Every structure is written in structure tokens, then in C-alpha cells.
Amino acid sequence: MAKKNFILVCGGTGCESTRADEIYRTLIKEAELQGVKDDVQVVKTGCFGFCEKGPIVKVLPQESFYVEVKPQDSAEIISEQVIKGREVVRLLYRKDEKAASNIKLEDIQFYQKQFRIVLRNCGIINPENIEEYIAREGYTGLEKALFKMKPDDVIEELKKSGLRGRGGAGFPTWMKWDLTRKQPDPVKYVVCNADEGDPGAYMNRSTIEGDPHSVIEAMAICGKIIDARQGYVYIRAEYPLAIDRLKIAIDQARDMGLLGKDILGSGYDFDIEIRLGAGAFVCGEETALLQSLEGKRGMPVPKPPFPAIQGLWKKPTVINNVETFANVSAIMAKGAEWFAKVGTEKSKGTKTFALTGKINNSGLVEVPMGTTLREIIFDIGGGIKNGKKFKGVQTGGPSGGIITERSLDEPITYESLAALGSMMGSGGMIVMDEDDCVVDIAKFYMAFCVDESCGKCAPCRIGTKQMYDILNKISKGTALEEDLDKLEKIGKAMTKASLCLLGGSAANPTLSTLKHFREEYLEHIRDHKCKSGKCKELVVYEIEPAKCIGCGLCARRCPVPCIVGEKKQPHVIDKAKCIKCGECFKVCKFGAVIKR
Amino acid sequence: MARMTLDELRALRESKRQDLARRDVEGKNIQIIVGMGTCGIAAGAKQTFDAIAESLQKHGLEDKVVIRQTGCMGLCYVEPTVEVVAPDMPTVIYGKMTHDMAESLVVKHLVEHSLLDNHILDRPAADIVKK
Ligand SMILES: Cc1cc2nc3c(=O)[nH]c(=O)nc-3n(C[C@H](O)[C@H](O)[C@H](O)COP(=O)(O)O)c2cc1C
Ligand code: SF4
Ligand code: SF4
Ligand code: SF4
């Protein structure tokens, strides 16, 4: 027997779960009281990601979306909606007209903060079946580029769309294509940058895994416009599933005449090959990537000449990020005007982010440009894990900076993130809470840059190591206050003098944490103290004699062992031998072990 | 499939579009769609896929249901995710569908026509593609 209605009650950790529980119970009770318990099922659900307006109740199949519901609303939901089939209008969500990121596209009216252009097919189609992509407006853009629009029109369309590169720097895509197109050389190339080396980022991987044709189609369009015959996807070997799906997709496209010779009978030839990268961060930098593609060691070379003039094998080359390409196929299918309605004046469209760290709903999100960090972290991400306090969010990975509470309401655009001392980067977004230590974070990213620096130029090769050594000293409590000035000095020099942006932005995490959390740095230096306990060398474990009952558990667990004491007598830690593993702190049931 | 001309591509798009809209594939009108990106697979989506197939067989439903795979929906904190499309039932996405949930999924949703508690999630964004 099919039910008439399903009432979904949000039971996410973000909502006040107790109230949601009560609503759940009163709804069931009311359904019984009003004699319709067989017509309706009340269900508890996961988080709807709209916690600020919670608790949320959704009624299916009407998709009625009720916000800030109270237990006493239950009777009305049952009597109106289930019995009379009418929505309870006063509880329906109404769009907040003030919110900057509201999308005013006629056919979409919704409460969701996410808007999926790049990920439009991810989670919907079978990525290993080209027909499903074709069925959803797939390859209509290529059709237009081959048969309907002149190259000038396509460039004009991209210009109108306002699309800027999603690989980090935000360079207007149309300009890149136009410049390459105008080079007289008869041989040109299209390259897709799928290196994605930013630790914590996986948007490009997911896009290729979920919708490989969105990238393939756009590369073919690009080829047609700039008059190239060959494309390459440079993808890291650590992405085996993405590589498999890409291979399948390229083969299917070739079999059906969407790649290869005489595409769709148009006379135009274009093919794509996959090239695997070994996973060096610097190989994501475009000039290093092209070197690597040529079979050389992946090291950046000075620009100019830009790849558009002299790229792969010295031929004019368009190199774009995976997400940039996935946007192009959507723009070509749906039109520039449609696309330009989403986002802000200078940053059009959406951006995908990989939301990780101390966040409840970690995952892949795509939001219109201009959405605030608060909306991403607290509405979509469901807030900080275990109710802890938000400390900051790192965007742009090792090239970006920390953004604090103060700037949470800043709309996200290329410009605003740069002004905050961070950058859009590829889209990793790591959320930190009060238990994270900024020195530890800065040290982590600097260690990454020391490892990944290609060593070609001195400012980066030497500067990253020097900065790392100072950060390491700070974390051990052996640094001096003037070391902070040194950090800033080296950081600024490195930013100015490095050949590529690996070194050019390696100081960002350090400089931005130093700017926002100087006090915390000083605590490490002056007081030899790390509040969060992340800098192990500064932590001291002790047993408080008054609380210790002498159960001996800690002594048995200590790996050294360095805890002694008589049975039922207070135990003592030999601090000289302690390796600060924290095991005693974890196991003591009496709170007798303290961390200082 | 042979190489296509423009007209053939258009014809194929139209017929596949209608298939998707009709929501029946190979004469089966129930679809179970398992998210199989790296994150889903890491969380055990392949085992879930197999367990669902087994459970369908056990309840004699294999002729009515297709199980399909798709990419990542982005809900990494509740992988594996499974979407169920069935007539007379609202289309829903379930999270945390580890293989041991397969049997209750099939029994509750397809046999008893009711929804599973504590696993339903919202699709993260509206679909921008015209059907
Ligand atoms: C150290 C470093 C790493 C980079 N890594 C990537 C990357 O993984 N993927 C990417 O698309 N761009 C990366 N870039 C940016 C590229 O150099 C280039 O700007 C981008 O591929 C251009 O594509 P777009 O115009 O579509 O953004 C990196 C840059 C630097 C300096
Ligand atoms: S800045 Fe660093 S990574 Fe870039 S070229 Fe110089 S040494 Fe190599
Ligand atoms: S576990 Fe706690 S109570 Fe037991 S001996 Fe160690 S410090 Fe004392
Ligand atoms: S922190 Fe580890 S090594 Fe030190 S006393 Fe406790 S258990 Fe022993």
C-alpha cells in the first residue's frame, strides 16, 4: 500500500536534535489522533544543511519545505497537509531577499545554497555511459561550435559569460583562447590541467570520475576554436579511478565519432591523449606541466613567453583547469547569459570546494561566487564538529592563507580572497577549530613546500627551508621574538623573488597566521606554551596527586615506561624520560593526568 | 556503436532523453543508483552494490529493478550513498548505506513501500539540466 505522504524531520547534528526529536514524536502522535496513521510515514533524516533555520520538516511528494518548526505545529501539518492536502503556508521557507548569493533564475526557486554547474551530472549519470551524458544536453555545445557558431561567436560567448580560470589565478578564459587562436602557427595544442596537487583538494578528481565528458567536450570545442588537432589531459597517477573513467569516456567518444577524424561529419579532426603525472605539486604549475608533458623534468620556466604563444613543444597552447573546461561545456549548452546570472559582477558562475577538516558535513560543494564562508561552513557544512569553536579556514592550500571569524561574512570572489591574504586556489577548504595550533599548521604547509620546491631558484629553495627551521624552533620553544620579524622578511623576499608561484605564495600560510594570531606565536616563544597541545615539545604531562587513586592503568599503558608509584598511591611521571605520547592522559579515568 | 553524423547524434539524444524522463530502463521501472566515486568506493560502495543485488534476488525483485552506478554526489561524510527511484514512492537519497543496510533498504523501501529512518538526505542542489 502506497502512503499518501511522507514527513521528513531533519535529525542532523546541526539542528537542535532534541527539538527535532520532539517534533518527530508529536507528528506520529497527531497522525494517530487524527486517524491517518496509515496514510503517512514520519521519518527522521540526515542533515538538510540549512541548520540556521532548523528544525526543518519536509513533506513528500509535495516537497513542502518547512523551517523553524515547533512541536505545536504538528497538529496543523497533519490536519492541513495530510488530510486536506494543503500546505501550511506560514511555515514554508521564504527566500531571504537580502542574501547576496540568491540565484534569480526563473525556473529554480529553492532554499539550497548550492548550485551545480560543474557538478551538474555528478551523482546523476553513469559516467561510464556516454549516452547518459548525451541525453542531458551533452555535446550540444560541440554541435554549436562545429556547425552553428563561428570561432568569433564562441569567443564572444565566453567573454559574455565572464568565465575565469578555476585553476587558481582567475585569468579570463576567453582571452587565453583568443590569444592562442590568433597565433599564426599551424600546430597548436589543448591541455587540461588535472594535476590537483593541493593537499585536501579533490574537486577535479570527482568531476572527472563523475562526468568525464564535460571535460572532453570542452577540450574539443577549444580545439575547434583555436584550430588544434590534439589535446592532452595531464592527470596524476594517484587518481586511478578518474583515469579509468576518462579512458572509457575517450574511447566511447571516439567510437561514436565525437573525437577522432571528421567529427560528426564536419571535417574537423581532434583527439585526446592521457598523460600521467607522478604527483609533484610543482607540475601543476603550467610551465612545469608542459615541460613534464614533453618528457623533461617538471620545472617551471620563466614567463613570458606565455603558453598561449609558446607552449607545448614551443607551439601555441591553451592550458586550462578541469573545472574551467567543465564550465565551458555548460556555457556552450545553456548560453552565456544564463551563466552570467550566477555569481558576482567580476566573478561569474560557481566554484567547487572540497570542504574538510573539523566540519560536520565534509564533502564536495559547489556554490555561486559571492556566497559567504559562513554559509559554506555553517549552513552547508553543518558547523564545527563536536560543537567546538571555529578558529579559521585555510583556502588555497599551501599557497593560501587562513581566514578568521572576522571575515566569515565576506562574499567569496577572486578579489576578496586575495585581499584577505589568501587565494581562491583550486578549492581546498580546510576548517580548523580551537584545538588546532596555527604554528603547527604553518609548519605543516611550509614542510610541504620544502618538499615540493623544485629547487630551481634560490629564494624558494633556501627561503622555504629557512622559514621551516624558524617555525620548527618556535614549535619547540627555542625561538626568539625577533625570529618573527625574520619570518616576515624572508617571506616577503620569497614572495617577490621566486620564479614561480610555488615559492611566490609559499609564505602565505605563515604570514597570514602571523597576522591574525601573533599572540599565539608569542605564547610559544615567550611562555613556551602551546594551548592546543599540538606542539608536542611544549607539552608537559603531570599527575595531580590529589586526584590520582593509584590504579596503575597509566603506568601499564606508558610505552616508555616512565610512570612509577605504589599501588593505591599517587603515581609520578618521570618528565625527563616522557616522550609525550599522551597515552596516560587518554586512559586515566579520574582526570588525574594533566596536560600543560 | 558506429561513428555518428550530426543527425544521428540528435536522434540518439532525443530518444535517450525520453528514456531518462520515462524513468524506465530495459523495461524495469525501479532504479537503484549507487554513488561510486573514489570516496563512495572507499566507504564500501562496491560491497553495497553486490549486497543490494543479492537482496533483490532473494525477494524475487531482480526483474523489476536495475542497479546503476553514478559518480560522487559530494556527500562524503555519509558515503556510501544510494538513490532509489520507484513508482508510487518519492525519489530519495540514502546515506551511510553500507552493505549491511542493503537488506533493510530493499525490504523497507521496495517491499513495504516505506522510507528508512535516519538515512535520508537531500539532493545538494537542484538539477539545472532541462528534462
Ligand atoms: C605551484 C602551483 C601549482 C598549481 N597547481 C595547479 C593544479 O593542480 N591544477 C590547475 O589547474 N592549476 C594549477 N596551477 C595553476 C596553473 O599554473 C595554471 O594557472 C592553470 O592551469 C590555468 O588554468 P585556468 O586558466 O583554467 O585556471 C598551479 C600553479 C602553481 C604555481
Ligand atoms: S619558486 Fe620554487 S618551485 Fe618555483 S621554480 Fe623556484 S624553486 Fe622551483
Ligand atoms: S590512571 Fe590516573 S588514577 Fe590511575 S594511576 Fe594513573 S594517574 Fe593515577
Ligand atoms: S605521555 Fe606517554 S610517555 Fe609520557 S608519561 Fe604519559 S604515557 Fe608515558
ipTM for the predicted complex? 0.90
Total domains in the fold of chain A: 5
| CATH number of B65's domain | 3.40.30.10
Q: Which of the ligands is closest to the CA of residue A455?
A: 2
Residues A170, A309 share a domain: yes
Q: Which residue has the cell 594533566?
A: A594
Residue nearest to atom 3 of ligand 3 (CA): A548
A567 CA distance to ligand 4 middle (Å): 18
Residues A233, A147 share a domain: yes
- Report yes or no on B14 lying in a domain: no
Ligand 2: residue of A498, A501, A508 to mutate (most ligand atoms within 8 A of CB) is A498
Question: Which amino acid belongs to residue A296?
Answer: K
Residues A370, A319 share a domain: no
Residues A223, A181 share a domain: yes
Question: Which amino acid belongs to residue B81?
Answer: T
Quote the CA–CA distance of A253 and A571 in Å, as a whole number: 71
* Domain final residue, candidates A497, A526, A555: A526
Q: What is the DSSP string of chain B?
A: -PPP-HHHHHHHHHHHHHHHHHT-BTTB-EEEEEE-SHHHHHTTHHHHHHHHHHHHHHTT-TTTEEEEEE---S-GGG-S-EEEE-TTS--EEE----GGGHHHHIIIIIIS--PPTT-EE--SS---S--
- Report yes or no on B118 lying in a domain: yes
For residue range B49-84, list pLDDT tens digits in order. 999 999 999 999 989 999 999 998 888 889 999 999
Residues A228, A160 share a domain: yes
Q: From the CB of A298, is ligand 2 less than 6 Å away?
A: no
Residues A310, A209 share a domain: yes
Chain A positions touching B95 (Cβ under 8 A) are 46
* Domain final residue, candidates A271, A306, A339: A339
A501 CA distance to ligand 1 middle (Å): 9
| CATH number of A290's domain | 3.40.50.11540
Q: Check if A61 contacts B (Cβ < 8 Å).
A: yes
> CA–CA distance from A6 to each of A78, A108, A565, B125 (Å)?
11, 23, 62, 21
Q: Check if A576 contacts B (Cβ < 8 Å).
A: no
- Report yes or no on A534 lying in a domain: no
Instruction: List the one residue out of A120, A76, A509, A593 whose CA is nearest residue A328.
Output: A120
Q: From the CB of A165, is ligand 1 less than 6 Å away?
A: yes
Chain B positions touching A265 (Cβ under 8 A) are 5-6
Residues A225, A358 share a domain: no
Q: From the CB of A461, is ligand 2 less than 6 Å away?
A: yes
- Report yes or no on A385 lying in a domain: yes
Q: What is the atom index within ligand 1 of the atom nearest the CA of A322? A: 11
Ligand 4: residue of A544, A577, A579 to mutate (most ligand atoms within 8 A of CB) is A579
- Report yes or no on B84 lying in a domain: yes
Q: Is the pTM of this model over 0.80?
A: yes
pLDDT digit of tens for each residue in chain A (596 aa)?
567 889 998 876 555 556 888 899 999 999 999 999 889 999 888 776 666 677 888 898 888 888 888 899 999 999 999 999 888 888 887 755 444 333 444 444 456 788 999 999 998 899 999 999 999 999 999 999 999 999 999 999 999 999 999 998 899 999 999 999 999 999 999 999 999 988 889 999 999 999 999 999 999 999 999 999 999 999 999 999 999 999 999 999 999 999 999 999 999 999 999 999 998 999 999 999 999 999 999 999 999 999 999 999 999 999 999 999 999 999 999 999 999 999 999 999 999 999 999 998 889 999 999 999 999 998 888 889 888 999 999 999 999 999 999 999 999 999 999 898 888 887 889 999 999 999 999 999 999 999 999 999 999 999 999 999 999 999 999 999 999 999 999 999 999 999 999 999 999 999 999 999 999 999 999 999 998 888 988 989 999 999 999 999 999 999 999 999 999 999 999 999 999 898 999 999 999 999 88
> Which structural domain, as residue segments, surrounds residue A400?
350-433
| CATH number of A50's domain | 3.40.30.10
* Domain final residue, candidates A414, A433, A452: A433
> Which structural domain, as residue segments, surrounds residue B38?
27-128
Residues A269, A143 share a domain: yes
- Report yes or no on B20 lying in a domain: no
B88:A209 CB<8 A: no
Residues 6+ apart with CB under 8 A from B122: A45, A48, A49, A58, A112, B93
